[in-house]
Structures are given as C-alpha cells and as structure tokens.
Amino acid sequence: MKVAGLKAISTILETQAILIRNKNPPHPSLVSKITSRIKGVIAAKKYVLLNYNILRDILKEATKLTPGRQAPTISPLDDSNWIEVQSMVEKEEAADIMDRLEEIGARVIVLFKIDNCRV
C-alpha cells in the first residue's frame, strides 16, 4: 500500500491502533508492517551496537560477553590474527561489557546508537 503526503500518513497513524486491535483487520499486511515497526523502535531503545577488534585466540571468551540477539557478526581483518566482532547488547549493560572486553584484550571498542531496527 503506497501512501503519499502528510494527510495519508496522518490517516494511517490515526487508524493503526484500531487495525492492531481488530482480530480481522481489513489490511493484515499493514498491521504486520506497523507491528514490525513498533517492535523495531522498542528494540532500538533497549539495545546498542557494539563493535570491537579481538585476537582470534580470545574470540570464544569475547563472544560469551557479546552473544548478540541471534549471533555476533564476525569479520576478518587484514592482520589474520585479529578479527572484528559486531553485536547488539543491552544498553544498560554496555559500559560493563566494554570494560570486560578491554580487560580480556579487545581493542577499538566502539558503541553505536540504534535509531531503529528490525529484529
């Protein structure tokens, strides 16, 4: 369903609560899309994205600290002894996790805010 202009967007926002409550909504795909968007905003408020570099030998220990929602993303670096790890972590635990990662040898630890996502 394509919408153009502020009036159409306003209409969708006004009716989304009704569509979500209705057990037999007239546009199920719209309800699914709205639900997915709401879940994304909620997850974005709860999680941050943590990136860091770690020696391959320490990867198992590091990913115990940052298992991610499903699994961490692991990428090779030019130096074959090092890899980059990217993982969603709970915002409230991020500072402690960063401290523990640094203690075990992680480097270039960077935290990114998530504005929105689909999980």
Tell me how far apart the alpha carbons of residues 17 and 85 are, in angstroms, rounded to a whole number.
39
Q: Which fold has domain 47-113?
A: Alpha-Beta Plaits (3.30.70)
Is the pTM here over 0.85, yes or no?
A: no
User: Comparing 36 with 19, which gets the higher pLDDT?
Assistant: 36
CA distances from 22 to 1, 73, 109 (A): 19, 38, 46
Boundaries of every domain in the chain: 5-44, 47-113
Distances (CA, A) of 44 to 9, 26, 58, 60: 22, 29, 28, 26
Backbone angles phi, psi at 39, to 5 degrees: -60, -35
Render pLDDT for 92-103 as a digit per residue (tens, 0 to 9): 999 999 999 999
